[in-house]
Structure 1
Amino acid sequence: MSIEVGSKVQGKVTGITNFGAFVELPEGSTGLVHISEVADNYVKDINEHLKVGDQVEVKVINVEKDGKIGLSIKKAKETQQPQRPRHNGPRNNRNDQRNQNKTESFEQKMNRFLKDSEDRLSSLKRNTESKRGGRGARRG
């Protein structure tokens, strides 16, 4: 069995670094699971998810010409179980708003955009002026 992009294989974690984990694949080849490909959520410490010696199922996401193999644990899991929509931050809320507001007119969308833009700009100005000691900053 050759290692082909898109294939799922079983492997054994042989090493862990701060940027990912090395996984030994069948036929003795080794690939890297980048830390961003370990789990669906943000991974701060890979040691909380993997240990040397763990058996994992990985999906081959790329094979470089120099022989480097890119692997993904989260993509290997995606096809096994349906993913539920994640609602864990403002990004998803914005996407939900966009989907709900598809019937808005161009003017309504533009007004909402301008309001959001002005709010963000004023917040940014408030935060940067106070840190730089600009106008309105207290001097003691």
Structure 2
Amino acid sequence: MKIGQKYEGTVSGLRPYGAFVVLDNGVKGLIHISEIKTGYVDSIYNVFKVGDSVRVQVIDYDEYSGKASLSMRSLEEEKHHFPQRHRFSNKKVKIGFQPLADHMPEWIDDSLEFLKKDK
């Protein structure tokens, strides 16, 4: 299983925090209540019943336990053209402190000017 793959599955159990799903390939997973849809979900029991068929996307997979973290929200975001979260993207995202470093000399000068005025 790979992160980002889409599967059909069947709801096998419900808890207040999410729905347990057995995928069509036999892997078991959980759709956490926060991954059901964009926005607030009041009660998992108002969304699913045991035996419901669902389409999900894998957002994490533990090879050791053989269990998956699943999302329906990511499919909804994809359908409505919302920006996907970075963990589903193959693009490299440059993360770092460069924007801060670019402005640091300016901030230091401003701070020094402020301190000089205070005396």
Task: Tell me if TM exceeds 0.5.
Answer: yes
The structure with more helix, counted as a fraction of residues? 1
Structural RMSD (CA): 1.3
Partner of 2:75: 76
Query: What is the distance in 2 between the residues matched to 1:74 and 1:48?
Result: 16
Tell me if 1:9 matches 2:7.
Answer: yes
Conserved? CA contact 2:60–2:69, under 8 Å: yes
Separation in 2 of the partners of 1:69 and 1:78?
20
- Structure 1 residue runs of 5 or longer lacking an equivalent are 84-140
Per-residue deviation at 1:44?
Answer: 2.1
Identity %: 41
Q: 2-side partners of 1:75 and 1:20: how far apart? A: 16
CA distance in 2, matches of 1:25, 1:38: 16
Give secondary structure in 2 for the equivalent of 1:79: helix
Within 1, Cα distance between the matches of 2:55 and 2:76? 8
Q: What per-residue deviation string (whole Å, max 9, x for no partner) do you get for residues 23-48 of structure 1?
A: 11022111100011011111121111
Partner of residue 66, structure 1: 65
- Higher CA-based Rg: 1
Instruction: Return the letter of the residue paired with 1:40.
Output: T
1:54 aligned to which of 41, 49, 52: 52
SS of corresponding position for 1:40: coil
2:91 is aligned to none
User: Does the Cα contact within 8 Å between 2:18 and 2:44 map onto a contact in 1?
Assistant: yes
Partner of 2:87: none
How many residues align structurally?
Answer: 81
Q: Which runs of 5+ in 2 are unaligned?
A: 83-119
1:32-51 pair list within 5 angstroms: 32-51=30-49
Aligned AA for 1:80?
K
Structure (1 or 2) with the greater strand fraction: 2
Q: What is the correspondence of 1:65-104 to structure 2 with a 5 Å cutoff?
A: 65-83=64-82
| Structure 1 position 53, deviation (Å) | 1.2
CA distance in 2, matches of 1:30, 1:66: 10
Preserved CA contact (<8 Å) 2:27 2:66: no
**Under a length normalisation based on structure 1, what TM-score does the superposition of the two structures give?**
0.54
